[in-house]
Structure 1
Amino acid sequence: MKVQQKPIILLDRDGVINQDSKDYVKSVEEWIPLAGSIKAIAALSNAGFKIYVVTNQSGISRGYYSEETLAAMHQKMSDLVAAEGGQIDGIEYCPHGPDDACHCRKPKSGMIEAIEKSLGMDFTEQPAIMVGDSLRDLQAGQARGCAPVLVLTGNGRETQYKNIDFHFDIYTDLAAFAIATLHKYS
């Protein structure tokens, strides 16, 4: 029996890994993981999946927090995953606002393309999964050939009712996605 190649897993951050806020997550103290998300990332990492975070962070361009504060939030996230025995292989973030006409802000695929370049891969030819809670996450993944996955945390409950013209899988949260993925590729 041929073992399936494990896909690269791309995760949105706010609303998928940690609690989201309409007022933005602006400090390390406000960065609070969702129940089960840290253990889910660690379990996937321990099973040999490469995990990358792909996150819009327009709060930087809006002046709500600095890149140093964002780095501290990401260090907290990485440290929590490491404490569970896993690792996050990379983090790409877009610091731009919605009107900055950048190539990286989701639904554009620049952050995903940067990961592809760093890995020497093309996700239209190699398996990858983009997990998010908003339409723009799914669109960015779809644009680069990733299998789009919606979680119902964060904005996911509202997103599931949008008119989306491509297939995507739905899970209640990151932990449910991890369980199904670990089962599928075991």
Structure 2
Amino acid sequence: MHSRTPERLVILDRDGVINQDSDEYVKSFEEWHPYPDAIMAIARLSQAGWHVAIATNQSGIARGYYDVATLEAIHTELRRRVGDAGGEIAHIAYCPHGPDDHCECRKPLSGLLVQIREALHLESLEGCWMVGDSLRDLQAGEYEGCQSVLVRTGKGRRTEVNGKGLGKTMIFDDLSAFVNWLLGDG
């Protein structure tokens, strides 16, 4: 398959953007609680011709809090719910490493975004959207030329109050508010 320039692509962080975050980690399917409007927001993006990918740090695997099978079960359910709402997730990239593992994929490094770019056969991510609730999400996106969006859900309000490193980042209350703006419905 030939490389191509990015079509309409939105890359999402998972915890704090799509589902409730937890300082204790989302360790099981029972602890995974999507925000009420996030699933529909992803479906609306798909229906409007946007590709949606997810880039998520999952250091709970390295810390032994849960395993890859648990993470994949959560992602299977996420894909099912988005599909039931009429949408699709093009790719999910996750980093299973801890902060001291010196990997290339843990945000704020851009390895997860590179995985997404390669999986979707894109030449670059220049101009795509990166939506997150922490500075590390935005930094990973900016490194790859993405436009940054901070949502106030999850750790987003704390990130906004800190204010450091936000630059030209657009800020929305949640994923649904961003999608409303992007699709011209807000």
TM-score range, shorter chain: over 0.9
- Distance in 2 (alpha carbons) for counterparts of 1:144 and 1:110: 10
Matched residue count? 179
Q: Percent identity?
A: 51
- Distance in 2 (alpha carbons) for counterparts of 1:9 and 1:122: 15
* C-alpha deviation, 1:124, in angstroms: 5.1
1:94-173 correspondence to structure 2 within 5 Å: 94-123=95-124, 125=126, 127-162=127-162, 163-164=164-165, 166-173=167-174
Instruction: Say which SS state the counterpart of residue 98 (structure 2) adopts.
Output: coil
- Kept in 1, the 8 Å contact 2:135–2:166? The answer is no
- Distance in 1 (alpha carbons) for counterparts of 2:34 and 2:166: 31
Whether 1:36 aligns to 2:37 is: yes
The one-letter code of the counterpart of 1:61 is A
The one-letter code of the counterpart of 1:160 is E
Question: CA, structure 1 residues 156+105, in 2 after alignment: closer, same or farther (shift >3 Å)?
Answer: same
* C-alpha deviation, 1:158, in angstroms: 0.6
Deviations 1:37-67 (A, max 9, x none): 0000000011110000100000000000000
Aligned position for 1:45: 46
* C-alpha deviation, 1:119, in angstroms: 2.4
* C-alpha deviation, 1:140, in angstroms: 0.3
Aligned position for 1:83: 84
Structure 1 runs of 4+ with >6 Å offset: none
TM score, norm. by length of structure 1: 0.92
Stretch of structure 1 that moved more, 6-15 or 100-109: 6-15
- Distance in 2 (alpha carbons) for counterparts of 1:7 and 1:166: 23
Cα RMSD between the aligned structures?
1.4
Whether 1:15 aligns to 2:13 is: no
* C-alpha deviation, 1:120, in angstroms: 2.7
Structure 1: segments with no counterpart, 5+ residues: none
* C-alpha deviation, 1:121, in angstroms: 1.9
The one-letter code of the counterpart of 2:96 is P
Aligned position for 2:3: none
The one-letter code of the counterpart of 1:110 is G
* C-alpha deviation, 1:74, in angstroms: 0.4
The one-letter code of the counterpart of 2:101 is D
Aligned position for 2:183: 182
Structure 2: segments with no counterpart, 5+ residues: 1-5
Deviations 1:129-150 (A, max 9, x none): 0000000000000000000100
